[in-house]
Amino acid sequence: MNPRSPRRRAALCAVGTAVLVAVTTATAPAAPAAATGGELTAEEFRPQLVTVDTPTREDKRLLQTLGLDLTEHAGHDYVEVVLHSPADVTALLAAGLSYAVRIPDLLVREAENSRVNAAYAAATTTSPLPSGRDAYRTLADYDADMAALERDHPDLVELITLPHRSLDGREIHGVEIGADVRGPDRGLPTFVMLGVHHAREWPSGEHAMEFAVDLVENYGNDPRITDLVNRSRVVVVPVVNVDGFELSRTDGGLVDLREVDQGGTGTILGTPGNAYKRKNCRLVDGQDTPDGTCRAGSLTSPGGYGTGVDLNRNYGGYWGGPGASDLFADPTYRGAAAFSEPETQNIRELVSGRHVTTLITNHTFSNLVLRPGGVAPDQVPPSEGIPLGDPYDEAALKALGDAMAAQNGYTSQHAWELYDTTGSTEDWSYNATGGFGYTFEIGPDEFHPPFPQVIDEYLGAGEHAGRGNREAYLLALENAVNPATHSVLTGKAPAGATLRLRKTVATPTWTGSIEDTLDTAMTVGPDGRFTWHVNPSTRPVVKDRQVETVSSEPVAQETFTGTTLPLQSTDSEFTVDRDADLFEIVLDWPTPDDMDLEVYRKNADGSLEQVGGSGNFVGEKERVLLQDPAQGTYVLRAINFASVAPTWTLTASLFDAESSSVPGLVENWTLTCEVAGQVRQTVPVVVDRGQQLRVDLKACGRR
């Protein structure tokens, strides 16, 4: 993604074939009453999506402390936020953070989308999706569709019920897909697909469910899919947060939330309720409440967003650190403890009981493929006392992320490049098991856009037609079954014996650690031979760590000065002629008004490719930061958007970082061979990623 000035970005969102819905504000949006000193009551205020200017990491950290409803849509100098009340506006302005309104009334948008969805469904018999659906599923639809897959394909699909009910008492279901799915586990690798951690992110469940349907319906017909299913077990849980989704989908599915006429006078026909709810249904911190009370409890919070625990901050990986709030009412509240919520306990037990070699958790929105880590590599968790550094498998994680992003047109990046996040799904799963993990942020600009966009994101549109997230998911499944990306144990053992791999480890949180137990099993086949696809014995979080410290002085620097008249721009060229770790460009001018900065890389044919930009609010200076800049010529464009002082100074600096290695540990699995419930042999196993190890289990065959 090449972020442009957030105050001047415009996006048009195609809905169906003929309807366009504008999702942008004017260049200089009118400030809300709270910003201009007028009074704005809660009854007059409508939830809105705004773009908050965050040109520095400190600005992002400050924003994360305000208890506001941050979206997953952000760039190097902005974060999009949902404002639910006048108090949210006051908090933002009191912190000195500027913003622009992108969607001024989410109720109006919800009503517009509902009308578009109804029109599309009325005009469509069967959509191009694998299931043919033409509208968003309800929770009952998901359960019915999963049950139908099992009923129609009993040898290929098994409906699973996760062990912990939701706080409101609902069962949480998924499907397991594989050849002879009801037979004994023969040691195949597992691929896990998750959706709807955040209640309002409906497309995340749709894509997970469509991929399940895709695999099942094409098994036996498509050679590629047939081969992948034969070589794996695929587990899909389309709705992790069943309580929150039920409220969001029910309230958001009303055909007319608000009727708006062209003159601008609206008639309120309904309430948005929980249409934009984010969290689960934890009503009292650390305590359960009677089943069925979530809706009533959520009425105490605007849009239901303040009630509950953010499930994607509740996992154990560096739980309690940056990007996760310790205040219950905050949108990113992390929970009373790591894995305090039944929904995250379910996923923890699912992943801990299988060798999940690749995992994708789906979210909306931002058109991103995010990989570990969730926190910038120079951050130092108190539990460890050394910088986090990049993930041990960074090269391989990036290669797969880039390959998947090439299919859907998304941007592949570290999760921390969006903003710091701790307690997320893939960070824990990768740190605890070594299985590759990714977050997909589906779609460009809405939590649950018109349904035709969901179709386009899954199947691909424009230059990505025929690929999209479907092809990206298939690449992830290919990664899951590829022995080079995990480990393999082979050998002989008594037919029907149970082989078990187990270890109990300390998983670091931000200030301490939790205990994780990984316990997996397989059954030896009738020929007495086994091939077991497993994750490496040593977790990435304890492997050797490369740590980089940025030098305080630039290794190259050039200063430019110039004069640019209002609404004009001036270009300066800077050549990166050496390897560097960081490229910083700062634009300064003497008056507290408005200039902008855009950075381009010049291609061999002379064309320009934008690689960065900064368009802060009035009075804030501009800064662009690029990691590992490619060598070549860069064009630095100073734009006088609205400055009365046309003279400016632009400084371009290159920095190096010093790299050092922190020694790691070597861990082992404990492998046991059991016959008739009795352990006959115990063997420690050390195996690396990409390694195939033959294990001697002769003693297990002796009485």
Q: Are 386 and 545 in contact, with CB atoms under 8 Å apart? A: yes
Environment class of residue 192 by beta-carbon count within 10 Å: exposed (0-12), middle (13-18) or buried (19+)?
A: buried
Strand 608-614 vs strand 411-414: parallel, antiparallel, or unpaired? unpaired
Residue carrying the six token digits 């670091």: 508
74: closest CA among 332, 457, 417?
Answer: 417
Cα–Cα distance for residue pair 459/464, rounded to 1 Å: 8
Residue with token string 């990623």: 689
Q: Which helix (H) or strand (E) holds 146?
A: helix 139-152
Residues facing residue 412 across a β-bridge = 369
Q: In this structure, what token pair is assigned to residue 180?
A: 């002879």
What is the rounded distance in angstroms from the CA atom of residue 422 to the CA atom of residue 324?
6
Please enumerate in sequence order all residues whose Cβ is within 8 A of that of 253, keeping only pairs 6 or more positions apart, or say none: 114, 136, 138
Query: What is the number of alpha carbons within 13 Å of residue 151 lying toward its C-beta?
Result: 6
Dist CA 386 CA 389 (whole Å) = 9
Instruction: Answer whether 540's CB lies under 8 Å from 631's CB.
Output: no
CB 199 within 8 A of CB 278: yes
Contacts of residue 687, defined as CB under 8 A and 6 or more positions apart, other chains included, come to 487, 489, 534, 536, 537, 669, 693
According to DSSP, the β-strands at 582-588 and 622-627 are antiparallel
CA distance 83 to 94: 14
Phi/psi for 108 (5° steps) reads -60, -45
d(CA 112, CA 118) in angstroms, rounded, equals 10
CA separation (Å) from 478 to 289, 343, 399, 475?
43, 28, 13, 5
Q: In whole angstroms, how far apart are CA 611 and each of 2, 409, 652, 665?
A: 6, 16, 14, 39
Which entry of 201, 341, 441, 620 is annotated as an active-site residue? 441
Give 321's DSSP letter.
Answer: S
Asked about 441 being catalytic, the answer comes back as yes
* Active-site annotation, residues: 441
